[in-house]
Amino acid sequence: MKILIEREPLMASIQNVMKAISSKPTIPILSGIKLEANQQEVTLTGSNSDITIESIIPSEEDGVVNIHEIVPGSVVIQAKFLPEIIRKLPENQVELSVDDDMNVLIKSGHAEFKLNGQDTEEYPQLPVLQTDNSFHLQIDLLKMLIRQTNFAVSVSETRPILTGVHLKLENEQLELVATDSHRLASRKINMTDTDGLTFNNVVIPGKSLSELNKILDDTQEPIQISVTDNQILFRTKHLYFLSRLLDGNYPETSRLIPNQSKTVVNVNSKDLIESIDRASLLAKDNRNNIVKLVTQGQNILQITSHSPEIGYVEETLETNAIEGEELKISFNAKYMIDALKAIGTDQVSINFTGAMRPFIMQPDEDDEPILQLITPVRTY
């Protein structure tokens, strides 16, 4: 095997597949990156027990030549040193060749690295995904869906199923839900060309989604999503991203969302974020990061926080309107800020049903079916 390749696309591909390489792999060979060259392209693969990433470098694309010479072949190279080696090579072109004993030679300018490679026969065969359950999304939309929900997954393994984002496609509507049992993020979008495809209880590990989000560029190109019983594949022109799904039944969350409210507050998101952020300055030290919110009359919110050993902060915020019953409620400031940022609209409407009950936040304009729910804290 031998390739003469541009350093930049090689570097980008290495960085993509590195996201799947674990420092403690289940089998030793997975600490390496697999390189495969055929006449048209070079494919890099990285894999761990949860995700597998393949990144494809075409020899030529849109008139730009990435690979100048290809002698087909394959090798597995230790991933630990490869990114740094390629990054620091002196020239823009890299020659990478492998002899029959799997010795890898990397040359660029006057620099030469000799690395010990491994035969790809030992590299596990990646499962071939066979499914007709596929649909398309725009990449930038998928990235937004991930940003708006993935932050709410649980980081604790006490209920493993909650460490993932729940995906459901029904009646041409795709819904993503994440909850750590203290807050919940939900986002729906209408689909047009799903060909009557439906699925439920597809739970993608939160970690997989955050890696995917890092790899994908914010473009309007399509990404194909294919779902099987235990795996999900995201596929763009030059990328395969395969993740395992979480086992188990995702809890029914729709019943958790209150459908009535006793107090409705309509407020500017940015103002609210800033004042919650200020109030939580004192609370941050305190693991709970609790702020208290009190309605005052028709349009004033009072936001306070008290840390026993530090001090007290109080601030009032003018809202657009407050309707319904008076309310005092305490909650984790971080949850509120996360949720407001995920909603991302100018105005937000907050529906409360009582101090001990979850409250929901939604954009004021109803064109974005996003919902953020937060469970309050009980202060004794």
Partner 1 sequence: MKKGRIIYHVDMNSFYASVEMAYNPKLKGKPVAIAGNPEERRGIVVTSSYEARAKGVKTTMPLWQAFQHCPELIVLKPNFDRYREASRHMFSILSEVTPIVQPVSIDEGYMDVTDYVGSQNPIKLAEELQKRVLNELDLPSSIGIAPNKFLAKMASDMKKPLGITVLRKREIKEKLWKLSIGEMYGVGQKTADKLKKLDIETIGDLALKDVMTLKNLLGINGERLHQRANGIDDRPVDPDAVNDFKSIGNSTTLPYDMTDQQEINRIFDQLSEKVADRMERKEVVSENIQIMIRYHDRKTITRSRQLREFVETKQEISQLAKQLFQQHWNEDPVRLLGVTAQQLTAKDEMFKQLDLFNYEKEAEKEELYLTVDQLKEKYGDNTFVKLKSQRQAKMSTSFQKDFLNEYKNNQNNSK
Footprint of partner 1 (CB under 8 A): 179, 181-184, 251, 256, 287-288, 290, 306, 308-309, 311-312, 328, 330, 332, 354-358, 373, 375-380
Shortest Å, Cβ 254 to partner 1: 12
Shortest Å, Cβ 281 to partner 1: 16
What is the Cα–Cα distance from 81 to 16, expressed in whole angstroms?
15
Nearer to partner 1, 171 or 380 (CB): 380
What is the Cα–Cα distance from 79 to 24, expressed in whole angstroms?
12
Shortest Å, Cβ 264 to partner 1: 19
Shortest Å, Cβ 353 to partner 1: 9
Shortest Å, Cβ 279 to partner 1: 15
**Beta carbons of 94 and 108 less than 8 angstroms apart:** yes
3-state DSSP of 225-270: EEECCCEEEEEECCEEEEEECCCCCCCCCHHHCCCCCCEEEEEEHH
Query: Please, which residues have CB within 8 angstroms of residue 340's CB and are 6 or more apart in sequence?
Result: 269, 272, 273, 276, 348, 361, 372
Residue 259: CB atoms within 10 A of its CB come to 9
**Chain-centre distance for alpha carbon 45:** 20
Nearer to partner 1, 194 or 375 (CB): 375
Both structure tokens of 186: 């939900």
**Beta carbons of 290 and 330 less than 8 angstroms apart:** yes
Nearer to partner 1, 150 or 243 (CB): 150
Shortest Å, Cβ 271 to partner 1: 24
- DSSP E strands in 73-158: the ranges are 73-78, 93-98, 103-108, 111-118, 134-138
How many residues appear in the chain? Answer: 380
Nearer to partner 1, 62 or 380 (CB): 380
Shortest Å, Cβ 329 to partner 1: 11
Nearer to partner 1, 142 or 152 (CB): 152
Nearer to partner 1, 216 or 373 (CB): 373
Backbone CA torsion sign across 229, 230, 234, 240? negative
Nearer to partner 1, 286 or 347 (CB): 286
Nearer to partner 1, 116 or 379 (CB): 379
Angle at CA 281, nearest 5°, toward 279 and 283? 85
Shortest Å, Cβ 363 to partner 1: 21
- DSSP E strands in 48-110: the ranges are 51-58, 60-61, 64-65, 67-71, 73-78, 93-98, 103-108
